[in-house]
């Protein structure tokens, strides 16, 4: 069972987190201060949710001390208006951040994404249903067979695959692929690219199960069974 250490001094937030995460079958260890967190880090913790504003020491200091003990993934919990702290946390090497108040689904997705990225041994492989993405080789396999994607198709698939259960707006995808693409990609061509990816990876491209369309917003890769 994956063990998560929640470091948060506000009890209501801590208990809320515990409630959501236990419902997702995570095992929870709690700490209300930075020092308490450090004493609990040795207990086979797989991931830390770390509040930045703690009563005894700030989250950045706790982050550095945790990393000295053990290199485990850390997600910062930040207040909504703390953009600077988010940037600072990510610059220090935090795996992600979650702004309070958080949505349960987004929180769970982010935790799962970080755990997936940090999974030992196969951190360069993403498995979705019968699709395997090998990030080291930049290759995609369907039922073990090499699927030929263009660089742009691969990039779009990867953006969604690395952020499962997160809805990507069409604008966000276009912004993210901008730097790898010399040709102009507009909204209509994005639709065409997604259609081509589906033709290559879906069992039935007319009833896509891997890349879902979120009406009026964009696309996501959800839990495929
Ligand atoms: Ca706090």
The CATH number assigned to the domain holding 104 equals 3.40.50.2300
Instruction: Answer whether 181's CB lies under 8 Å from 152's CB.
Output: yes
Neighbours of 68 (CB within 10 A): 10
Same-domain pairing of 161 and 108: no
Question: What's the gap in Å between 7 CA and the centre of ligand 1?
Answer: 9
Nearest alpha carbon to residue 32 among 48, 16, 56: 56
Same-domain pairing of 129 and 112: no
Final residue in a domain of this structure, among 56, 87, 119: 119
What value does the mean pLDDT take over residues 51-72?
90
Instruction: Answer whether 42's CB lies under 8 Å from 34's CB.
Output: no
CATH of the domain at 153: 1.10.10.10
Question: What's the gap in Å between 51 CA and the centre of ligand 1?
Answer: 6
Give Cα 33 distance to the centre of its chain: 26
Question: What's the gap in Å between 59 CA and the centre of ligand 1?
Answer: 9
Total structural domains within the chain: 2
Same-domain pairing of 113 and 137: no
DSSP label of 103: P
Same-domain pairing of 20 and 115: yes
Ion ligand 1 neighbours (CB, 5 A) are: 9, 51, 53
Same-domain pairing of 109 and 20: yes
Same-domain pairing of 97 and 130: no
> Nearest-5° angle of CA 176, CA 177, CA 178?
95
**Domain encompassing residue 66:** 3-119
Residue-level pLDDT at 95:
83
Same-domain pairing of 10 and 94: yes
Same-domain pairing of 153 and 62: no
Least confident of 28-32, 81-85, 110-114, 137-141: 81-85
Same-domain pairing of 168 and 104: no
Question: What's the gap in Å between 89 CA and the centre of ligand 1?
Answer: 15
Question: What's the gap in Å between 60 CA and the centre of ligand 1?
Answer: 13
Same-domain pairing of 143 and 82: no
Could you give the CA distance from residue 191 to residue 203 in angstroms, rounded to a whole number?
19
pLDDT tens sequence across 122-179? 568 888 888 999 888 889 999 888 999 998 899 999 999 988 888 999 888 888 776 5
Same-domain pairing of 107 and 13: yes
Question: What's the gap in Å between 97 CA and the centre of ligand 1?
Answer: 14
Final residue in a domain of this structure, among 102, 119, 136: 119
Task: Mark residue 144 as left, alpha or beta (left: phi above 0; alpha: psi -120 to 50; beta: remaining).
Answer: left
Question: What's the gap in Å between 100 CA and the centre of ligand 1?
Answer: 10
Question: What's the gap in Å between 54 CA and the centre of ligand 1?
Answer: 5
Same-domain pairing of 102 and 142: no
pLDDT tens sequence across 184-214? 667 778 899 999 999 999 999 999 999 999 9
């Amino acid at each position: 069972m994956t063990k998560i250490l929640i470091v948060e001094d506000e009890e209501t937030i801590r208990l809320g987190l515990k409630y959501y995460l236990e419902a997702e079958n995570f095992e929870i260890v709690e700490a209300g201060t930075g020092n308490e967190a450090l004493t609990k880090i040795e207990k086979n913790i797989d991931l830390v949710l770390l509040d930045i504003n703690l009563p005894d020491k700030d989250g950045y200091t706790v982050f550095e001390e945790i990393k000295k003990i053990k290199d485990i993934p850390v997600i910062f919990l930040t207040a909504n208006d703390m953009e600077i702290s988010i940037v600072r946390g990510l610059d220090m090497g935090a795996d992600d951040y979650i702004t309070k108040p958080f949505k349960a689904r987004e929180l769970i997705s982010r935790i799962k994404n970080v755990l997936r990225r940090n999974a030992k041994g196969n951190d360069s492989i993403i498995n979705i249903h019968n699709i395997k993405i090998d990030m080291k080789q930049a290759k995609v396999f369907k039922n073990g067979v090499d699927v030929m994607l263009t660089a742009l198709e691969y990039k779009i698939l990867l953006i969604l695959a690395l952020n499962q259960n997160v809805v990507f707006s069409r604008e966000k995808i276009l912004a993210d692929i901008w730097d790898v693409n010399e040709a102009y990609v507009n909204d209509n061509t994005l639709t065409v690219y997604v259609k081509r990816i589906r033709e290559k990876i879906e069992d039935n491209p007319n009833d896509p199960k891997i890349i879902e369309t979120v009406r009026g917003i964009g696309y996501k890769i959800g839990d495929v069974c």
